[in-house]
Amino acid sequence: MSGFRSAVITFPGSNCDRDMAVALEKVSGTAPERVWHGQADLPEKLDFIALPGGFSYGDYLRSGAMAARSPIMRAVIDAANAGVPVLGVCNGFQVLTESGLLPGALMRNAAIRFVCRDAQLVVENAGSRFTSRYTSGQAITIPVAHHDGNYFADDETLDRLENEGQVAFRYAENVNGSARAIAGVLNAAGNVLGMMPHPERAIETAHGCDDGRALFESVIAGLVAA
Amino acid sequence: MKVRVHVSLKPGVLDPQGRAIQHALEGLGFGGVNDVRAGRLIELDVDEATSDAALDDMCRKLLANMVIENYRFERVAA
């Protein structure tokens, strides 16, 4: 899609921002804007915003806690509330929960260890703007690499997420102890997705797997259809 | 003045770090440790005039994650 206007936010300590930018350019044909966390404003008329993985602020206080309070996040929250699709991967997911854009929290992996491996996921909701190119129940493989990916929310919140189709992805084998094996969560409006697995690391067969590509294709297809 | 903010996990929230510490204590031969919960102590040096309401606000907006954590603070005499 020509003219796909996306932005990748870089926080101090982000380390997957380049991978995300490369993935977005390869799939959409247009390079994203690179936005530094200290900026107060986003580029205008964005179609998509990505919060990348990494260790923003060295995970000080709590993973994602400092980044969630950085100047650019006020603009990201405004954009999300205005309906712009926002994807947070790994540390980006932690930033989304810390900022209140997504419910729940990401805690230390239940086994304490850093987990770095390919993870088998099940697509739970293929009706979202991030997942329309998958089918519900589809098994996909996406790599994970994190220490704090153990999704937690109270039972009432978990029930609501399940009932409202806000669980986007689930681990086939729970790699980190997440509540109900949740790997990816949508907000109620369906335009914000947070996930621990890294779809940007699985967009071409040279990566060993290209199951992540359909996520970006879904976003782009949704814009064309809109 | 000094303010000590104690941040702890809410009851019922699994604490893998606390559990690992408990296992390590057992490994060192300490018996009778039934549970360990790891928290965080944050010391602030604030103006005397800083209100409890302002401290609450600091805790809720940044120092604690209210989804998983509780907090309490105490003013410490110099």
The CATH number covering residue B33 comes to 3.30.1280.10
Question: Averaged over A197-212, what is the pLDDT?
Answer: 95
pLDDT, mean of residues A32-59: 96
pLDDT single digits (tens) B1-57: 999 999 999 998 988 889 999 999 999 999 999 999 999 999 999 999 999 999 999
Which residue in the block uniquely carries the two structure tokens 């790997």?
A183
Q: What is the pLDDT of residue B14?
A: 86
- Give the active site residues of A: 90, 198, 200
Q: pLDDT-derived band of residue A112, with 50, 70 and 90 as boundaries?
A: confident
Q: Are A102 and A194 in contact (CB under 8 A)?
A: yes
Please report which confidence band the pLDDT of residue A223 belongs to, taking 50, 70 and 90 as the band edges: confident
What is the spatial distance between Cα A132 and Cα A101, in angstroms, rounded to a whole number?
22
Residue ranges of chain B whose CB lies within 8 Å of a chain A CB: 13-14, 16-17, 20, 61-63, 65, 67-68
Residue-wise over A91-121: b if at least 16 C-beta within 10 A, else e?
A: bbbbbbbbbebbbbbbbbbbeeeebeebbbb
Q: Please say if the pLDDT value at position A20 is more than 60.
A: yes
Q: Beta strand A139-146 with A115-123: parallel, antiparallel or unpaired?
A: antiparallel
Average pLDDT over residues A62-87: 97
Chain-chain contact of A112 with B13 (C-beta, under 8 angstroms): no
- Mean pLDDT confidence for A78-91: 98
CA atoms within 13 A on the CB side of A10: 13
CATH code of the domain containing A51:
3.40.50.880
- What chain A residue is nearest to B65 in terms of C-alpha separation? A98
- The residue assigned the tokens 């978990």 is A158
What's the pLDDT at B61? Answer: 95
Edge-first strand order for the sheet with A167-171 is A33-36, A6-10, A48-51, A86-89, A192-195, A182-186, A167-171, A115-123, A139-146
- Is residue A226 very low, low, confident or very high in pLDDT (cuts 50, 70, 90)? low
> Cα dist. B65→A61, A140, A148, B70 in Å?
10, 32, 14, 8
How is residue A121 written in tokens?
């996921």
* CB spacing of B62 vs A65 below 8 angstroms: yes
Structural domain range at position A53: 6-225
Question: Does B67 sit within 8 Å of A65, measured CB to CB?
Answer: no
H or E element at residue B26: helix B16-27
Dihedral sign (CA B36, B37, B43, B49): negative
Residue A3 or A101, more confident = A101
Range of the domain at B70: 2-76
Q: Do the chains contact at B65 and A62, CB–CB below 8 Å? A: yes
- Testing the interface with B: which of A150, A152, A161 to mutate, by most B Cβ within 10 A? A152
Question: What domain count does chain B have?
Answer: 1
Cα(A63)–Cα(A54) distance, integer angstroms: 10
Question: What is the identity of the amino acid at B18?
Answer: G
A80 is a domain residue: yes
Judging by beta carbons within 10 Å of its beta carbon (0-12, 13-18, 19+), is residue B29 exposed, middle or buried?
Answer: exposed
State the average pLDDT for chain A. Answer: 96
What distance in Å separates residue A93's CA from the closest CA in chain B?
15
* Residue at A83 is within a domain: yes
Does the reported pTM lie above 0.90? Answer: yes
**pLDDT at residue A2 above 80?**
no
Between A213-225 and A17-28, two packed helices, what is the crossing angle to 10 degrees? 50
Average pLDDT over residues A143-157: 97
What is the average pLDDT across A154-183?
97
Put residue A123 in one of left, alpha, beta given phi > 0 → left and psi -120 to 50 → alpha: beta
In a domain, A1, yes or no: no
A74 within a domain of the structure (yes/no): yes
Q: What does the DSSP 8-state code read for residue A201?
A: G
Q: Is the pLDDT reported for residue A1 higher than 60?
A: no
Q: How confident is the model at residue B70 (pLDDT cuts 50, 70, 90)?
A: very high
Structure tokens at A63: 């993973």
Does residue A76 lie in a domain region?
yes
Domain total for chain A? 1
Who contacts A107 (Cβ-Cβ below 8 Å, separation ≥6)?
A148, A150, A151, A152, B13, B14, B16, B68
pLDDT of residue B71: 98
Residue B69, pLDDT > 90, answer yes
Sorting pLDDT into bands at 50, 70 and 90, what band is A224? Answer: confident
Residue A141, judged by CB atoms within 10 A of its CB (0-12, 13-18, 19+), counts as middle
